[in-house]
Amino acid sequence: MNKKCDRHTNMENENNLITNEEYREIQKEFNKISSLSSKSIFYRNMAYACWVIGIFSIILAITILI
């Protein structure tokens, strides 16, 4: 009974293992995705900063004109 269970788990382990090359490819894809998300967060923050500067400059121009 034990031998049968061991063989079954060994077969499952062999099917679930990935090679080093596959792991490297997965890691490359993950790095691409994470760098893209950090870039998009940076650009979104820059857009917010531009909105704040624009609104502040409009308010400043209105106060100078008045």
* DSSP code at position 9: H
The residues near 26 (Cβ < 8 Å, ≥ 6 apart) are: 18
Under the banding of pLDDT at 50, 70 and 90, the label for residue 8 is low
In angstroms, the CA 48 to CA 8 distance is 56
The letter for the amino acid at 40 is: S
Dihedral pair phi/psi, residue 18, rounded to 5°: -115, 150
- The per-residue pLDDT for 15 is 60
pTM: 0.44
Q: Is the pLDDT of residue 9 over 80?
A: no
**18-64: pLDDT as tens digits:** 678 888 888 888 888 777 777 778 888 999 999 999 999 999 999 99
Domain that holds residue 54: 2-65
Total domains in the fold of the chain = 1
- The per-residue pLDDT for 13 is 56
